[in-house]
Amino acid sequence: MKKLLSTIIIIILIFNIFTLSFADAGPKPTLTIYVKNFASQDYYLDLLGKEGEYNYFYATDGNEKYDLMKDIPLYKYDKNGWKAIHMRTWLLRGNLKGNYDKEKGMMVHKFSYVGVPKKFKIIIQKENGDLQISKKIINRHFNSYVYYDMKTNTYEIYNNYRFNILSTILLIVFTLLIEVIVALLFRFNKWKVIIIINLITQIYLNLALYIFDGMFIYDYFYILIEVSIIIIEYLLYKRVVNDISNKKIFGYVLVANILSFLLGYIMIY
């Protein structure tokens, strides 16, 4: 039991080192807002977060690129604790001005990084300085897409299921390739077993990430999932493979999963 606990702790520490080393290369929440029926492209758009619910207002010293814009109505807006986020912290990356998408005929606003809120309102400052504010939006996805109608002040939340399915399939294929390459290096030639066990653990991984898609403590959640996969794979291989030592099985599982973890950590979004 002590050996198992020690092994789990070592694995978590290894993944933590990789997480810290590749933190900015890893997945971060994104929010894309498509604005339609706008009278003019000359407007500002930010997200409102509620003080007391949104935790990043005071996590930084502000957002220095807007230091000279603190007198505009958008920044000054403060009703029932709702304030503009992006202008106050660089932990929500993006721009007040959107880009025009000719194909869609819409303005596109992209926000990302750890400051993407779970609950927010859209605030728009029009060309004449008037403000327009949407109803509260609940963000339940790691990568969210919101279509906002400026004329009716209504919105729809859209999830790009086709992209998510294709990226998941691609990730599974690359993961299997890594597993096969590592298996060759370890002379672990149990190809049928490797494919079946990896399909099982990949289904488990993607179901877990889908179910807990809204968790923004994503880095450490992902680590826990990967550690559990190592344990599951080791136990499955140990049960069905009798002609290879447990030490060799564990070495293969550990190396293969660290490499696939790094790939998944970069590609998952």
Contact call for residues 265 and 257 (beta carbons, < 8 A): no
Residues in a beta bridge with 46: 123
Residue 127, exposed/middle/buried by CB under 10 A (0-12, 13-18, 19+)?
A: exposed
87 — pLDDT class (breaks 50, 70, 90): very high
Contact call for residues 183 and 70 (beta carbons, < 8 A): no
Tens digit of each residue's pLDDT (9 = 90 or more) over 196-233: 988 888 888 777 766 665 444 455 666 778 888 888 89
Tens digit of each residue's pLDDT (9 = 90 or more) over 141-182: 778 899 999 999 999 988 666 766 777 787 788 888 888 888
Report the C-alpha gap between 133 and 41 in whole angstroms. Answer: 17
In the chain, domain spans = 30-158, 161-267
Query: What are 254's two structure tokens?
Result: 């550990």
Amino acid 76: pLDDT: 95
- What does the DSSP 8-state code read for residue 111? E
What mean pLDDT is predicted for residues 65-83? 93
Query: What are 202's two structure tokens?
Result: 């990949």
Indicate if the pLDDT at residue 124 is higher than 80.
yes
DSSP H or E run through 13:
helix 2-21
Using DSSP, state whether 214 is helix, strand or coil: coil
Amino acid 219: pLDDT: 59
CA angle 225, 227, 232 (to 5 degrees): 90
User: pTM higher than 0.75 for the full model?
Assistant: no
Length of the chain, please? 269
* Alpha-carbon 268 to chain mean position: 8
Amino acid 240: pLDDT: 87
DSSP H or E run through 112:
strand 106-112
Query: Which fold does the domain 30-158 belong to in CATH?
Result: Immunoglobulin-like (2.60.40)
Report the C-alpha gap between 83 and 92 in whole angstroms. Answer: 13
Report the C-alpha gap between 247 and 231 in whole angstroms. Answer: 13
Mean pLDDT of the chain: 81
